[in-house]
């Protein structure tokens, strides 16, 4: 029987590795906002790649630490719980810092990003053959929805939920790769 007195709990591991992932996402996000590249919508996939790498790295490391301190074993369910908690903590940290930055420090970055999205939507609608009136109606509806979604509380909730869901998908994969069940007859 292994000595579990000094073994880190799943919550402690999740806080540590979630904070590391969150800080990586904060640094990347702030670099994008400060450089003005946040408005470049073609770079959005790069953010998801950085998020995938940060979360994946943290999840792999947390599961390694857990296995090393628990006799070399971690079940799929334990890994999934640990990794989902890591992604939720990273989501809270990165969303909170991003929201503080865009609300209090540089609210123009959000406006630049919204303008870029507006231009892209109009361009797509024109390609679809929408009339000027249809585009105006669609834009009015989009602006109402955007005003609702730009509420800081709503931005925080939607950011945390979306990053946590993305992290959960990563957690499903990482947990399946890193699991090692205890033998039944040992």
Mean pLDDT, residues 75-104: 94
Residues in the chain: 186
Lowest mean pLDDT, pick from 87-96, 146-155, 177-186: 146-155
Residue 6 confidence class, pLDDT cut points 50, 70, 90:
confident
Say yes or no to pLDDT of 113 above 80.
no
CB 67, CB 74: distance < 8 Å: yes
CA distance 99 to 137: 29
Residue 4 confidence class, pLDDT cut points 50, 70, 90:
low
Digit-coded pLDDT (tens) for 118-156? 788 778 888 888 788 887 887 788 777 777 767 788 889
Which residues of 12-163 form beta strands (DSSP E)?
A: none
CA distance 30 to 37: 10
Say yes or no to pLDDT of 1 above 60.
no
* Residue 70, Cβ density class (10 Å: 0-12 exposed, 13-18 middle, ≥19 buried): middle
Mean pLDDT, residues 23-30: 93
Digit-coded pLDDT (tens) for 50-73? 999 999 999 999 999 999 998 899
Domain residue limits, the chain:
10-178
CA distance 125 to 70: 56
Predicted TM-score (pTM) of the model is 0.81
């Amino acid at each position: 029987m292994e000595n579990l007195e000094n073994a880190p709990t799943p919550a402690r591991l999740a806080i540590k590795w979630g904070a590391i992932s969150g800080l990586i996402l904060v640094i990347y996000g702030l670099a994008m906002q400060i450089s003005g590249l946040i408005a470049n919508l073609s770079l959005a996939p790069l953010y998801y790649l950085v998020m995938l790498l940060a979360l994946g790295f943290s999840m792999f490391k947390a599961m390694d630490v857990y296995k090393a301190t628990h006799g070399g074993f971690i079940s799929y369910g334990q890994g999934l719980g640990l990794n989902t908690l890591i992604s939720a903590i990273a989501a809270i940290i990165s969303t909170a810092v991003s929201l503080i930055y865009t609300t209090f420090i540089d609210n123009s970055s959000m406006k630049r990003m919204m303008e870029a999205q507006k231009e892209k939507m109009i361009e797509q609608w024109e390609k679809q053959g929408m009339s000027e009136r249809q585009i105006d109606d669609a834009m009015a509806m989009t602006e109402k929805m955007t005003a609702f979604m730009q509420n800081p509380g709503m931005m925080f909730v939607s950011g945390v939920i979306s990053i946590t869901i993305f992290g959960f998908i990563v957690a499903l994969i990482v947990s399946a790769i890193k699991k090692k069940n205890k033998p039944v007859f040992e």
